Amino acid sequence: MRPDEREFLARFIREHSGIVIGADKDYLLESRLLPVARKAGLAGLSVLIQRLRHQPTATFIQEVIEAMTTNETLFFRDGHPFAALGEELLPKLAAIRPGGTPLQIWCAASSTGQEPYSIALAARDQVPRIVQSHGLRIVATDIDRTVLAKAKAALYSDLEVNRGLPPALLTRWFRREGSEWRLHEEIRGMVEFRHLNLLGPWGMAGGIDVVFIRNVLIYFDNPTKQAIIAKIAGLVAADGYLVLGGSESPPGLGDRFERVGTRPGVYRKKA
């Protein structure tokens, strides 16, 4: 790939999604974008770049950006955020919010749904009385419409349900459908999926009790991470929480959030 082509692609992807592609990542661009070129009947990356420069339809841009997202996820990833939710966050929030006021959770970058459904399953399993007394409103968002469609369908393979999902929850809340597993309507109904680019306008109302934003800021540069953390701080309720990936420490985090006990990745909004 010519240096000017690499630069164009990296800039295009960063401007549309925030995802930073390092200068040594030609193989990544090629492995992700050659299939997009092939599907569009284009001879290679140079022609794909020409199309992006001169005739970029919204659908084509979407295909390019979706090809560059990494959607790796699993049920109950890292365990402790979901334990924290049931043992500490939801009980504390329920104690200070009047009954009948739904607790609001935003799962940003929800990929194929395992994370928001783990939130719903943890709540339903560990604190069913809070779910009943207050109600839980989980909004799950992602830039990638293909993963959102899979998330909404809530249909998972053997491999997927064998990654992180406790067997008791599989038995209780999933049923066989052909060679796959469909999540029970009650849990699906607890999550609303929406398309949202973390780089664009969010259209989210304030007063959110818990924001999960895990394993996505790692793809962005520092100013973008800092701006997103500041924007989230503006939306989180005064006594609300932020949950990051265990080893994530975006710039500006400590100005607005403080760690909750010894739980990696779990933060409370500063007074």
Ligand X SMILES: C[S@@+](CC[C@H](N)C(=O)[O-])C[C@H]1O[C@@H](n2cnc3c(N)ncnc32)[C@H](O)[C@@H]1O
Q: Which residues bind ligand X (CB under 6 A)?
A: 17-19, 69-73, 77, 109, 111, 115, 142-144, 147, 196-199, 214-216, 219
User: CB of residue 259 vs ligand X: minimum separation in angstroms?
Assistant: 19
Residue nearer to ligand X on the CB measure, 45 or 228: 228
Residue nearer to ligand X on the CB measure, 82 or 173: 82
Give the span between the Cα atoms of 199 and 192, in whole angstroms. 20
User: CB of residue 260 vs ligand X: minimum separation in angstroms?
Assistant: 18
Of the candidates 153, 162, 269, 148, the one whose C-alpha atom is nearest the C-alpha of residue 209 is: 269
User: CB of residue 216 vs ligand X: minimum separation in angstroms?
Assistant: 4
- Neighbouring residues of 236: CB distance < 8 A, sequence distance ≥ 6: 208, 209, 211, 242, 269
Residue nearer to ligand X on the CB measure, 70 or 101: 70
Residue nearer to ligand X on the CB measure, 115 or 209: 115
Of the candidates 198, 269, 264, the one whose C-alpha atom is nearest the C-alpha of residue 227 is: 198
Secondary structure (3-state) at 64: helix
User: CB of residue 95 vs ligand X: minimum separation in angstroms?
Assistant: 28
Q: What values do phi and psi take at 192, rounded to 5?
A: -110, 125
DSSP labels for 139-186? Answer: EEEES-HHHHHHHHHTEE-HHHHTTT--HHHHHHHEEEETTEEEE-HH
Of the candidates 23, 51, 27, 18, the one whose C-alpha atom is nearest the C-alpha of residue 37 is: 51
Residue nearer to ligand X on the CB measure, 94 or 236: 236
Residue nearer to ligand X on the CB measure, 94 or 109: 109
User: CB of residue 193 vs ligand X: minimum separation in angstroms?
Assistant: 12
- For CA atoms 235, 117, 164, 199, give the dihedral sign: negative
User: CB of residue 249 vs ligand X: minimum separation in angstroms?
Assistant: 16
